[in-house]
Each structure stands twice: as C-alpha cells, then as structure tokens.
Structure 1
Amino acid sequence: MRISTLQGDITRLAMDAIVNAANRTLLGGGGVDGAIHRAAGPELLAECRAIGGCPTGEARITRGYGLPARYVIHAVGPVWQGGTAGEDDLLASAYRHSLLLAQAHDIARIAFPAISTGIYGFPAERAARIAVAAILDHAAGLEVILVGFDAGSHATLRQAVDEARR
C-alpha cells in the first residue's frame, strides 16, 4: 500500500477511480460533488439516478464517463453535528466502504478528496486523521492519493500522512 498527497483538481486525475464526496441522493451538489458531476457529464447523473441513493457512511460505484478516471466511487460522509452523533465512525465507514468497492472492482489506484470537510463542516484536521487511519487499515495493495484542492487542505492532508508515518 502506498499513500501520498497532492494539491489539485481531482477531476483531472487519470486514476482507476476517484472518490466523490457525495450526498445521500448521489445526484450532485456543490464542491467536489458538483465538480465531478460537471466533468463526468450527464451520463453520470443518469447512472446515479438509477442507483437510488446511498446511506451515510456507505459508498456506491459508477463509471467515470467524461472523467480520465475509469470509475467514480461516491462516498457519503456525515454532516458534522459537534462530534456526538457518531460522525467519526460514519466518516471512517465511508472510507472503508470506498476501499472495499475498489478492491472488489480490481482498482489499483484511487484518489480521495477530504470527505465531509466542505459544506458538511467536519473539522479538517480530525477528518484527515480519520481518513489516513482508515486507509492504512483497509487499503492493502492499493495506491492511494489524498487530494487537497487548495494549499490549506493539502497541507492538512499532508500533515496527517506524515504523523501516521512517525
């Protein structure tokens, strides 16, 4: 297993799969979710409609359509409610479910955004530590890239990876 970080636009990565920080409807939204849907094209929305949604803490897989990635794994993270509503476990579960789907579909290279840290309000440093721990526990044999869209989110992800390696 190899884990690294990158600052950039996840929709431009030529990977086996990219992960979408999706909402429960899977029908697109703001942030990375909207960007992935726009870049993939209308076929992605049609396939997501056919799936019929996804519970928080789980993930679903679709084709990548107009993206350079073959697949999109739609992971539904929790909305932050102060940390007392099982948010940590739900976030770890979203990463775990994504990795299980990757392994089931013979995906070797996968890129993750910082799930739940945008409009869902999950504290970025806490989310990064949870993401790295889940990846280290469940990503055997995979190459994983954590993608921060801007310098601040990238630095947070990089710090979590560096701390885990100590």
Structure 2
Amino acid sequence: MNLHQLLCLLVLALFLNSCSNNSTETKQPNVVIIFLDDSGYSDFSPFGQTRIETPNVTKLAEEGIMFRNFYVPQAVCSASRSALISGCYPGRTKVFGAHGPNGRGLETTFPTIGEVFKNAGYKTALFGKWHCGDQPETRPQSRGFDETCGLMYSNDMWSHHPESPEYWGQWPLQFWEN
C-alpha cells in the first residue's frame, strides 16, 4: 500500500465515521503521526530494538496502531515530508531533495493533511521540523496547523554545518513557535 492509498483510506475512515447513523455522538479518534529523520525502523523496542529500551514508544505502539510497512518516495527531508502531508509523489509536487532557508517547498495548490483534518473538525498541531516551505504562505500555520513549534528547515543548515559552514552560516537557525 503506498502513501497516497494510506492517506485516502484515512480520510475515508474519518468521513465514514462522521456519517454514522448512531443517534449518540461519536468521538473522532486521535491521530498522531510520528515522522523521524535519521532513525530506522528497528531503532525502537516495539520494532525489534533489544539493546536500548524505548518505553514511551512501546506504550504508544501498544495503545495505538502500528504500521509495519512504510515507504517514502525519496529518503530526503523536504521530498518525503511533502509526500507524507500531501499524499502526492515528488514528481507531481515538484518537491525534490531538501530545500534551504527561505525555500518555497510545497505549493499551496496541494492540500495538506493539516488542512484536511482541520476541515473535518480536528485541532491540528505540528511539532519538530517542518521543511515543506519557508515562506509565509507555505509555513505550517498557513497550511492547516493550529499550533506549531520547531524548525522550518534542517537543523544542519547553519554555521556549524559539517561540510559547508560558510554557505549555510548565511542564515541563522531559527526556532519557530506559532
């Protein structure tokens, strides 16, 4: 099942849940997506890690749903995040690789998961690295997220970059909150 199919199923499930014929009000499920850079599937105890315990991740896995297959269209920040939040491949969105500070990122013509969930009555939040656009109209709060906290682009795009500190040092690393 590819990412687009998974997002479509999620939206369909939310739609069907809201169309229930129950006379009692049904509560929408909480949806939490954890998307990490620089970690592998088996880095956490519920997925095979045995040397280092990760009890909080284990608790999340036990109380929720675990997906054991996940694929990204590119193993790079902006492209993989844009695909996740839009359900579209990089070939369609034209988001490839990782954009730098002030980068355009995902065009506003592609709805995000934040916008879809917000339209379905959810409160939305994004914590951590966004990396899907660093211009006012492409930042998280303009793309359906009520609350945000984190970086607009990669944490290594700054003056302490391991290979190009002079280039990346042109921009201060900025932490954004709302």
Kindly indicate which of the two structures has a greater share of residues assigned to helix: 1
Give me the TM-score of the superposition, normalised by structure 1: 0.35
Give the number of the structure with larger relative contact order, counting CA–CA contacts within 8 Å between residues 6 or more apart: 1
Give me the TM-score of the superposition, normalised by structure 2: 0.33
